[in-house]
Every structure is written in structure tokens, then in C-alpha cells.
Amino acid sequence: MNLLREPYSRNRQIMLGVVGVVGSMAVAELLLRTVFTKPGLPVPSKVLLGAVGLFGDPQFWQAVGFTLVEWMLGLALATVAGVLLGGAMGASRIVRIMFELPVEAFRVLPSIALGPILVLLLGAGMLPLSITVALACVWPILLNTMYGVRGADTTAIQTARSFGVSEIGIVWRVTLPAALPFAFTGVRIAASIGLIVAVSAELLIGSGTGIGGYILSNSANAANLDLVYAATLVAGVIGVLVSLAMAALDNGLFGWKKGLAQ
Amino acid sequence: MTEHTSTTTQLPELQLDGISKSYGDNLAVRSITASIPAHKVSVIVGPSGCGKSTLLRIISGLDEPTEGTVTFEGNPVHGVPEGLAMVFQDYSRSLYPWLRVDKNVAFPLSKLPAAERDARVAEAIEAVGLKGREKLYPWQMSGGMQQRVAIARALASQPKLLLMDEPYASVDAQTRADLEDLLLKIQRKLGITVLIVTHDIDESVYLADHIIVLSTPPSVVAETIDVDLAHPRDHFSTKTHPRFVEIRGHVTQLLRHTELTGGAA
């Protein structure tokens, strides 16, 4: 049995990826044109044409812009709250024990369920949507930050102490840098969740704003279903781009994480 | 317990008076009294688990003794005293993986003006033979190189007292020999007081001007020995010198004796 394999070359990987995407689209195209011909199903060629058509639609771009701002605002709120509370929970046993149960209880609640209440409290607009996003995003950031702070190496801390660094200095110069890559992993996970929740929340409480609102208003008209699929596709592509950007940022900022594997 | 009087006329840099440390009912070290002479290399040697590291942590001020006092330059130690640097066995955890070599070495110097800091970092890196590797991350280097970075960082802080906890236990034999010679060279040049903890008898005799032999726990000082081997030392002629063989044999016997009798007391 051969367990160790040479990785494929980059070109070969790209080629296989393209074959996978184009192949599955071709299969879907074939099936939807011959076997499952019910109107309203996403025929790839039509969806792609629809997506190309979307590029010329300023209304759609406005919706995309709205969703991205809403998502970033929510992610920012979640990052601030998650890093602060997670950091405090990692650093202090008292804080951790006090908040352990509430965190466990709240993080399994579907944040979207709170959406209607938020609209009632805050009125319609971007803020209740962003808060809904934040409520879903805060947990992975909080938990990862907490484990990052708790995991700061005792030898690293004692080294700083032996050089006469103050306790505040140790938090600033050892615990924080050691925990940052963990916090950022939390942000990466949260970013994808946040985009899903952003579009879902728009469908539910967005009153026609954002990508979700665009999808919702167009799905009322059977003739526009390709647009609906196309918008969904664009939302997916945005998600992939966000994920790639976050991975690149992670690599650039925290490339030293490789040192932890030793 | 026999205690040789130190031949040095200098005042002790560091004085341990009746140091005991217990964890709950478990007594780790008992009533350790010893003098560490200034500007010399002293080595605490003892069997595994004899509380050597505990003792070093107490001396460094990272831990408090249950009883007894540590005096450094005439002042009782509470918390880490000024002018102390410590090199840990586990270099990969002691170095900061997010800092490149030069920044790791500069870590204890954050309060200095930039120009002086840079000069000290360059000097320390030069002293341990790592010039040209300033911009590497520690984890891109071999274990021996990483321990050199840790030593450079300790030197950069210009300590009066350098503590080393099993500094070479995690590197290969050849690297270990090189690092031992590096330490002796630097110590002779700068004249700092060095206190090393090790379980390795050869290493203790090779490095030391002064050896403190600990017994098995609860540990007491079995004996202190002045090592009168000439400097500069090297791994061939020093280690084949009859006096080296004699002292090594003596320490070996002491440790074996304490192990057989379960402590000198």
C-alpha cells in the first residue's frame, strides 16, 4: 500500500479542477435538457447567461454592495465582541467559568430567529441584519480566541517574566501575539458563516435589500428564475473569493504559525 | 555533609540559606544552603527529579521557597531580580515563533533607545556565531542554532547572573560540545556569573569552576566541589586529564551513593 504520494503539479491540479467543474455542469445540462425537463430548474448555460446579464444590472450591484457592507459590519461587531470576551475568558478563570454556560447556550440558538425581534426593536435597515450576522459570527471567534489565549505557552510566558517584563507587558507581548492566529482562524470561519447568514437574513427580514432581497423579489416572477439562480451563484462566488482572501491574509500575517507545528 | 570552602576570595554573588520547597505534603528540596561565587561557572548536578529545576526557579524569583532566603548581590530575592537572565531547556517554546532571530534577541531590550538596542543585538548575535541569520525565524533553524539564539537573547540583556536550566539536554552530542565551549568562551570574556543545572556529570565537571551535588529528593546538598581544571578547556585534553577523571569519578560516586541510600539525610 502506498501511503505517501507525490503531490500533483499545480498545472495538473488546475486542470483536474476545471475538468470537475465543466464536467459536472455538462452532466447537469444534459440531464436537465433530456430527463428532468420541468421548467424552473437551473440549466447551467441559462444560469451562466443570467449571471453575465447581472453584470449589466446596476440594481444588482447595489444589492451586492449592500450585502457586503452589511456582512462586514456584522463581522466587525462579532470580531470586537468575540476577541474581547474570548480573550477575557481565556485569560481569567473566573470570567471563563462565569460565561461558559451562557456561551454554550446562546451559541446553539439560530441567530436568524432573533431577526424579527431585532427589526421590531431597531426598525428596518442594515443594522438589524448586521446584528443578526454578528450573533452568528461571534461564537467561532470567541471560542478560538479563548483557546488561543489559554494555549499561550507557559515557557514563553516564564521567559518574558525572567526578563523582568511586567504582567501587562506579558499580555501585550506574549499572550496576544500567541493568540492572534487562533482568533484569526475564528474570523475566517465566521466570515463564511456570516455571508450565509447575511443572505438568509435578507430573505427573511431584509425588506428587499441586498442579494437576498434581489433573489426574493425576482423569484416572484417565474420568468426571472434564471436571474435568481444567477444571483445565488454570484453570492457563492463572493463567498469563495472572501475565503481565498482570508486564507491569503492568514498566510501573510501569521505565516509563523508553521513554527507551532514543531 | 562535607562542605569544601571556596578558594575564591570574592564575595558570593548569590547566597542560598536553608531553601526548602514543598508542594502540599511533597517536599522537593530541603534546607539547601550554598554560595554561588561571582564571575565563575557554578553547576548544580543531581539525579533526575531531585528538584534542580525547582531550585533554579526559586533562585530566578519565578517561584517562592517555602522556607529560607535567596540573596542576590546582598538583597533578598522576591520576584525576578534585575540583572538576571535565564536560558531554558526547551528553546523551541522559550523563543517566540512570531519574531525573527533579531527581534527575539531584542526582546528583553524594549526599554532601550533603538540605536543601543541594535548595537547590543548585533553584538550578541555575533558572539554566538549567528551573524547573517538575523532574519530567519527560530523554527527555520536547527535545535542547536535555536539554543544559540536563546543564549544570545540572554547575553543581550547583559546579565550579571546567567541561569541555565538543562540548556543542552535537547541537542545532539556534537552541538552540545560546541555550545559548551561557546559558553565557556563567552563567560571567560565577559566574566558573568553563570549557574547551570544539569543531570550530566561530564558536562558539570567540564563546565564548572564550582559544583554543587544534590542528593535524591527531598534533596539536600551532598557536597560542593571546586574544580581546579585549567582554562581554556577543550573536549579532548580536559576530559582525558587525570584530575577531570578523578572529579568525575567522585561526583559519580556521590550521586550513586545518594541514590542507593535514598538521600544523604
Among the partner-chain residues B62, B93, B97, the one whose CB lies closest to the CB of A162 is B62
CA distance B152 to chain A (A): 13
Q: What are phi and psi of B130, to 5 degrees?
A: -115, 20
Question: Greater confidence, B202 or B27?
Answer: B202
Question: What confidence tier does B2 reach under pLDDT thresholds 50, 70, 90?
Answer: very low
Contacts with B84 from chain A: Cβ below 8 Å:
162, 164
| Selection from B194, B170, B180, B157 nearest residue B234 by Cα | B180
Looking at residue B20, its pLDDT comes to 92
Strand ranges for chain A from DSSP E: none
**Interchain contact, A258 vs B139, CB within 8 Å:** yes
* Alpha carbon distance A206, B46 (integer Å): 72
Could B80 and A156 be called an inter-chain contact, meaning their C-beta atoms sit closer than 8 Å? no
Using CA coordinates, name the residue in chain A closest to B81.
A164
Identify whether the C-beta of residue B44 lies closer than 8 Å to the C-beta of residue B56.
Answer: yes
Q: Which helix (H) or strand (E) holds A103?
A: helix A93-107
List the beta bridge partners of residue B225.
B211
Check A163 against B139: CB less than 8 A apart: no
Which residue in this structure is represented by grid cell 471560542?
Answer: A143
pLDDT of residue A62: 92
B178 inside 8 A of chain A by CB: no
Q: Please, which pLDDT band fits residue B11 given cuts at 50, 70 and 90?
A: low
pLDDT attached to residue B256:
85
Predicted local confidence at residue A2, as pLDDT: 59
Q: Nearest-CA distance from B256 to chain A in Å?
A: 31
Q: Which cell numbers in the block locate residue A90? A: 481565556
Distance CA(B65)–CA(B145), nearest Å, equals 34
Residue in B149, B158, B81 with CA at minimum distance from that of residue B112: B158
Residue A132 lies in a domain: yes
Is B139 in CB contact (< 8 Å) with chain A? yes
**Cβ(A231)–Cβ(A218) below 8 Å:** yes
Q: Given a cut of 50, is residue B71 above it in pLDDT?
A: yes
Please state whether B166 falls in left (phi above 0), alpha (psi between -120 and 50) or beta. Answer: left
Running DSSP on this structure, what letter comes out for residue A112?
A: G
Q: Is the pLDDT of residue B9 over 70?
A: no
| DSSP 3-state of A124 | coil
pLDDT band at B264 (very low <50, low <70, confident <90, very high): very low
Domain range enclosing A234: 39-254
pLDDT at B3: 42
**pLDDT (tens digit, 9 = 90+) per residue, B175-194?**
999 999 999 999 998 899 99
Return d(Cα B216, Cα B192) in angstroms, integer.
30
Question: Per the domain annotation, does A106 fall within a domain?
Answer: yes
Give the model's confidence band at B260: pLDDT under 50 very low, under 70 low, under 90 confident, else very high: low
Assigned domain for A66 exists:
yes
Q: How many residues does chain A have?
A: 262
Rounded to a whole number of angstroms, the distance between the first and last alpha carbons of chain A is 28
Instruction: Inspect the interface and report whether the beta carbons of B85 and A259 lie closer than 8 Å.
Output: no
For residue A10, is it within any domain?
A: no
What mean pLDDT do residues B155-172 have? 91
B139-161 mean pLDDT:
93
Predicted-complex ipTM score? 0.86
Please list the rounded mean pLDDT of every run of 10 residues in chain A (262 residues).
Answer: 75 93 94 87 87 86 93 96 94 93 91 90 91 96 94 92 93 92 94 93 88 88 82 87 90 83 50
CATH number of the domain enclosing A171? 1.10.3720.10
pLDDT, chain B, mean = 88
**A77 in a structural domain:** yes
Mutate to test the interface with B, among A163, A174, A253, A257 (most CBs of B within 10 A): A163
Which of helix, strand or coil describes residue A248? helix
CB B243 within 8 A of CB B228: yes
Nearest CA in chain B to A158: B62
Question: Between chain A and chain B, how many beta carbons pairs sit less than 8 Å apart?
Answer: 56
Q: What is the per-residue pLDDT for B30?
A: 87
Number of domains in chain A: 1
Grid coordinates of A250: 492568514
Question: CA nearest B89 in A: which residue?
Answer: A155
- The reported pLDDT for the residue numbered A56 is 84
- The answer to whether B157 contacts A160, with C-beta atoms less than 8 Å apart, is no
pLDDT tens digits, one per residue of A194-235: 999 999 999 998 888 899 998 888 888 877 888 888 888 888
**Residue whose C-alpha cell is 446553539:** A108
User: Which residue of chain B is at minimal alpha-carbon distance from A164?
Assistant: B80
Please name every residue paired with B17 in a beta bridge, in sequence order, or none if there are none.
B69
Is A119 domain-assigned?
yes
| Residue A186 CA to its chain's centroid (Å) | 10
Distance from CA of A120 to the nearest CA of B (A): 47
CB contact under 8 A, A177 and B90: no
How many residues belong to chain B?
Answer: 265
Confidence of residue B262 (pLDDT cuts 50, 70, 90): low
Q: Say if A82 falls within a structural domain.
A: yes
Note whether residue A90 is domain-resident.
yes
The secondary structure element, H or E, covering residue A90 is helix A58-91
Which is more confidently placed, A221 or B73? B73
Give the integer Cα–Cα distance in Å for B119 and B127.
12
pLDDT for position A206: 80
3-state SS string over chain B? CEECCCCCCCCEEEEEEEEEEEECCEEEEEEEEEEEECCCEEEEECCCCCCHHHHHHHHCCCCCCCEEEEEECCEECCCCCCCEEEECCCHHHHCCCCCCHHHHHHHHHCCCCHHHHHHHHHHHHHHCCCCCCCCCCHHHCCHHHHHHHHHHHHHHCCCCEEEEECCCCCCCHHHHHHHHHHHHHHHHHHCCEEEEEECCHHHHHHHCCEEEEECCCCECEEEEEECCCCCCCCCCHHHHCHHHHHHHHHHHHHHHHHHHHCCCC
